[in-house]
Structure 1
Amino acid sequence: MKETVTDPLLFFLASILFGVCLQAIYDIIRGIRRVFYHKSVFLFIEDIGFGIFTAVMAFIFLCTYNDGELRGFFFLGIVIGMILYYQLCSKFLLRTVIHITEKLKKIIRQFEKVCLRPGIHIKRNLKWQLKKEKKQVTMALKKQIKRGGKSDNTKETK
């Protein structure tokens, strides 16, 4: 197949768009991280997962648009796309993601209160009731031990 002058140019522009998309996805992850606390182990796992996702998507992109050929301007296009996105759109998308995620977090909290609060109340009452029953059983056993193992219903015969 004969390659025209516009083919590499279109591939370069597509790789810039690919870099923009990758940076936007990472900004979404960053926004979620700011609202929901993650331990460092989970941050590491998320970053590894994003790296694997990026590698797979880059491989698919290369196979689809460039017959699997790895060219330097592919990486240059990705870097340019990421930098352009970061300079022009990152703050806006990040604020939007944080705002939406905080709203979702509030909705989840309200849902938890409505659904879990009755369960918590029932749990407390059951715990209190079981504690009361345990105390009564313990007192009865102590009383039984003091009497020497004899119950109230048995009469001593001499």
Structure 2
Amino acid sequence: MADLIYGEMELFVVCLLLGAFLAMMYDGIRIFRMCFRHKEFVVDMEDLIFWLFTAWMVFRTLFYYNRGTLRGYAFLGLFLGVLIYTLTLSRVFLFFAGKLVPIFRKGWNLAIRPIRYLKGKIRKTLKKMGAEVTMAWKSR
């Protein structure tokens, strides 16, 4: 009997930690979105991948610790883990990320500037070559 209760307590604590971990991962996605602009479709795909990963992690955990049996206390642990993380560490995490994102963006833009310059030059050259080919083709 004590082993059963110990196993249920262990599952509850693991679900609590898993909930906090998944919330932290979503904060990471939010920070990534702050760094780089996304189209709505890409945001939807990121969310879909995140939720598929979340479902896989939850059911994997339930199968490992409880042979796949759905228990209310496991979902309560997940919910409380997300809630506790969101009310405590998430704010600190996002605050510091908000301070670092502009610095990262400036560095990224500085690093990417030569690539953008070359891309513009190549595009201009190809466009010019395309116009010359078109003119040569029409003169036949």
TM-score greater than 0.5 by the shorter chain: yes
2:44 alignment counterpart: 44
Distance 1:37 1:77 in 2: 34
Helix, strand or coil for the counterpart of 2:3?
Answer: coil
Given that 2:22 and 2:82 are in contact with CA atoms closer than 8 Å, whether structure 1 keeps it comes out as yes
Could you tell me which residue of structure 2 aligns to residue 103 of structure 1? 103
Report the alpha carbon displacement of residue 8 of structure 1 after superposing the two structures with TM. 1.0
Q: Which residue of 2 aligns with 1:59?
A: 59
Partners of 1:52 and 1:105 in 2: how far apart? 29
- Partner-residue secondary structure (3-state), 1:10: helix
Q: Secondary structure in 1 aligned to 2:28? A: helix
Unaligned runs of 5+ in 1: 142-158
Q: Indicate the larger mover: 97-106 or 56-65.
A: 97-106
8 Å Cα contact 2:7-2:65 kept in structure 1: no
- Percent of aligned positions that are identical: 28
**Where in structure 2 are there 5+ consecutive unaligned residues?**
none
Which residue is 1:82 aligned to?
82
Radius of gyration: which is bigger?
A: 1
State the alpha-carbon separation in 2 of the partners of residues 107 and 45 from structure 1: 27
Secondary structure of 1:5's counterpart equals helix
Match in the other structure for 1:22: 22
**Displacement, 1:94?**
1.6
CA distance in structure 2 between the aligned counterparts of 1:27 and 1:40, rounded to whole angstroms: 18
Counterpart in the other structure of 1:31: 31
TM score, norm. by length of structure 1:
0.69
Instruction: Return 72-81 or 36-45, whichever deviates more.
Output: 36-45
Judged with a 3 Å threshold, the aligned counterparts in structure 2 of structure 1 residues 24 and 5 are, in CA distance, closer, same or farther, namely same
The alignment yields a C-alpha RMSD, in angstroms, of 2.9
Count residues with an aligned counterpart: 135
Where does residue 3 of structure 1 map in the other structure?
3
